[in-house]
């Protein structure tokens, strides 16, 4: 029992793999590819503990190729070269299958060293990564591989694996194991779709439970609660889940769903991340609420300042107030769109000059026919407005800002339509 339970109970067939039915159900493309025996270069992308390594090992076992395994966190250039040197040798005359776990940790040069050999078929690559492959894997490797995305395991599927794990522990210990009602379901739910953590929790629960007078063990729900690792609440602040949570928070607020907004905010805060949601809420106030409720940014800033001063766990209270306020506020992205379009013109090289009346000059050269700056001070005119050109000549008729269809902006539009006639 020296190896972790997750390794001792690892599936031996495709049908034993938990979850990933979108890839492995009969008739699905990946299963069909595996059953054909003709394995192309594959990249498995998804969170930890969802079966990427297990499936790669199952595939390797079905081929006649020489199998090599490397982990990107520890593999060196010499390790990769040693495998390449085995190409076309007697021991690998049927080809090499390289299983490369955590490929995102290899640098570009290391990945490039494999390129020639996976292209000509001397090496078949099966790589796994927890990070978005389109950001972390060399494009030439991607173009020669097929990417399959693995999903977190659903709680009911995880509970099935948990039940099997308790049965395995019972066999190994040769001692009856009884579960309080709801233990398997709780562990499957609490470990957030990570089967490996679910199985580790099973092992901990069994080892932490005393043998009773009858020679058995009763695993209680309280023990499961104490030992379950809440991986759904933990995440790498530099990884995909960090940005997925921030994206989900903003899209929920933009979609005016306060319940989803506080859920994703809660997940960020439960992971101990205070700064990221503070920054994102400030962005949302201007990007998605904007001119429909301009005071939102002021209120959100006050909530953020309070949260930073309070620290966690109390910071959750003003931040929840900010999230609910933004989710239930009217929405407008008119100013956001205006600045984006203006900056697009600037990047395109437009508007490099200034109208003469806007310049900070009071001297005209001899070549200028019309003398004087000719700036008209709006406060000297009725309603503090006088029509004159402000945009550069090549953009003078451009309209960037379009009034949003909300009460606040429509009131402003009506006012200026009347003044400007």
Extended beta strands in 206-317, E state: 217-219
pLDDT digits (tens, 9 = 90+) for 155-205: 888 888 899 999 999 888 888 999 999 999 899 888 777 888 888 899 999
| Residues 320, 269 contacting (CB under 8 angstroms) | no
Nearest to 46, CA basis, from 103, 159, 128, 144: 128
Is residue 3, in this structure, part of any structural domain at all? no
For CA atoms 75, 79, 80, 83, give the dihedral sign.
Answer: negative
Domain count of the fold of the chain: 4
**Residue 365 pLDDT > 60:** no
Domain enclosing residue 262, as ranges: 240-328
Quote the tokens at residue 351. Answer: 């508007």
Distance, CA of 189 to chain centre = 20
Which whole number is the average pLDDT over 380-387? 90
Is residue 10, in this structure, part of any structural domain at all? no
**What pLDDT, on a 0 to 100 scale, did the predictor assign at position 118?**
87
Three-class SS state of 62: coil
121 plus 75 within the same structural domain = yes
Residue 172 sits in a domain whose CATH number is 1.10.8.60
169 plus 282 within the same structural domain = no
Q: Are strands 96-101 and 66-71 parallel, antiparallel or unpaired?
A: parallel
Q: How far is CA 176 from CA 4, 179, 212, 217, 222, in A?
A: 20, 10, 10, 6, 19
User: pLDDT-derived band of residue 238, with 50, 70 and 90 as boundaries?
Assistant: low
Residue 71 sits in a domain whose CATH number is 3.40.50.300
**What pLDDT, on a 0 to 100 scale, did the predictor assign at position 330?**
94
pLDDT digits (tens, 9 = 90+) for 314-344: 999 999 999 999 999 999 999 999 999 999 9
* CB-based contacts of 243, cutoff 8 Å, min separation 6: none
High-pLDDT (> 90) share of the chain, %: 36
User: pLDDT-derived band of residue 236, with 50, 70 and 90 as boundaries?
Assistant: low
Least confident of 34-38, 58-62, 158-162: 58-62
52 plus 142 within the same structural domain = yes
């Amino acid at each position: 029992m020296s190896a972790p339970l997750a390794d001792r109970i690892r599936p031996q067939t495709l049908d034993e793999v938990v979850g990933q039915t979108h890839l492995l159900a009969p008739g699905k493309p990946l299963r069909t590819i595996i059953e054909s025996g003709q394995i192309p270069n594959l990249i498995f992308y998804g969170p930890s503990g969802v079966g990427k390594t297990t499936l790669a090992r199952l595939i390797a076992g079905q081929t006649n190729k020489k199998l090599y395994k490397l982990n990107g966190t520890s593999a060196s250039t010499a390790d990769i070269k040693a495998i390449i040197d085995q190409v076309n040798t007697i021991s690998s005359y049927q080809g090499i299958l390289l299983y490369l776990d955590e490929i995102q940790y290899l640098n570009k040069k290391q990945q490039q060293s494999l390129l020639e050999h996976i292209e000509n078929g001397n090496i078949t690559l099966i790589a796994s990564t927890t990070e978005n492959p389109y950001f972390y894997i060399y494009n030439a490797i991607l173009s020669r591989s097929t990417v399959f995305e693995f999903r977190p395991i659903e709680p009911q599927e995880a509970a099935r694996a948990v039940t099997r794990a308790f049965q395995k522990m019972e066999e190994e210990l040769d001692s009856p194991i009884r579960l309080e009602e709801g233990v398997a379901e709780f562990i499957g739910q609490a470990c957030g779709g990570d089967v490996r953590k679910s199985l580790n929790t099973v092992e901990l629960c069994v080892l932490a439970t005393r043998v009773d007078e009858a020679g058995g063990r009763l695993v209680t729900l309280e023990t499961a609660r104490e030992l379950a690792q809440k991986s759904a609440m933990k995440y790498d602040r530099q990884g995909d889940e960090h940005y997925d949570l921030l994206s989900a928070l903003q899209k929920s607020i933009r979609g005016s769903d306060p319940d989803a907004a506080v859920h994703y905010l809660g997940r960020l805060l439960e992971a101990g991340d205070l700064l990221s949601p503070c920054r994102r809420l400030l962005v949302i106030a201007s990007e998605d609420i904007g001119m429909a409720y301009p005071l939102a940014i002021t209120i959100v800033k006050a909530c953020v300042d309070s949260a930073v001063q309070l620290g966690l766990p109390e910071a959750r209270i003003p931040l929840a107030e900010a999230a609910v306020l933004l989710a239930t506020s009217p929405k407008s992205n008119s100013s956001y769109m205006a600045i984006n379009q203006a900056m697009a013109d600037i990047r395109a090289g437009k508007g490099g000059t200034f109208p003469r009346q806007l310049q900070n000059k009071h001297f005209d050269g001899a070549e200028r026919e019309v003398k004087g700056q000719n700036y008209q001070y709006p406060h000297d005119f009725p309603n503090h407005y006088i029509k004159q050109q402000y945009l550069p000549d090549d953009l003078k008729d451009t309209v960037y800002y379009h009034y949003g269809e909300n009460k606040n902006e429509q009131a402003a539009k009506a006012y200026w339509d009347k003044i400007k006639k």
